[in-house]
Amino acid sequence: MPEQITNKRPDGPEARLAALGITLPDAPRPVAAYIPAVRTGNLVFVSGQIPMRDGRLIAQGRVPGEVSQETARDCARQCALNGLAVVRAAAGTLDAVKRVVRLGVFVASEPGFHAQPQVANAASELMEQVFGETGRHARAAVGSIDLPLGAPVEIEFLFEVE
């Protein structure tokens, strides 16, 4: 069960999460030799998050043949939720996040699939819902032949914090 976070701001990201009915998962554990986040100064770099829910991938395979574009969007949203859980663990609260700086979105793609930006939008839209204007960010949406553990989507994050 994720720990309860005290809201610093009644209109901040933690309050928005609650208003959206979203409960963040516990920050996922790394699946290899890295740490979930590195803070340097006022920047938090969150390692690539795959669509793990309750310790399992919610889908495996390439888009669109093995995983539908809609399921890939669900995966991108789950990656974003996991990324938020990691930055919350690193910063203590999402209310400490001043800005979502960048998302790097990787989509395991079959040849000829060019809708990576539409898949990535699911994560970008969640950032805007949670952070408002400061959730708007720079982004790359890249096709990849394969991703860790056969995940259809992986997302890395950069946040500015107080």
- Listed in sequence order, the DSSP H helices in the chain are 13-20, 69-91, 116-131
pLDDT tens digit sequence for 131-146: 999 999 999 999 999 9
CATH architecture of 37-161: 2-Layer Sandwich (3.30)
Least confident of 24-33, 75-84, 124-133, 142-151: 24-33
Q: What are the beta bridge partners of residue 158?
A: 45, 102
pLDDT tens digit sequence for 111-121: 999 999 999 99
Q: Where are the domains of the chain?
A: 37-161
Determine if the peptide bond prior to 64 is cis (ω within 30°).
yes
- Is the per-residue pLDDT at 9 higher than 80? no
- Is the per-residue pLDDT at 88 higher than 50? yes
- The whole-angstrom separation of Cα 84 and Cα 46 is 9
- The whole-angstrom separation of Cα 92 and Cα 54 is 22
pLDDT tens digit sequence for 35-55: 999 999 999 999 999 999 999
Q: Which tokens hold the place of 161?
A: 């914090």
pLDDT tens digit sequence for 63-84: 999 999 999 999 999 999 999 9
In Å, what is the CA distance from 13 to each residue of 28, 52, 56?
A: 20, 22, 27
In contact, 79 and 51? CB cutoff 8 Å: yes
- The whole-angstrom separation of Cα 16 and Cα 9 is 10
Global pTM reads 0.94
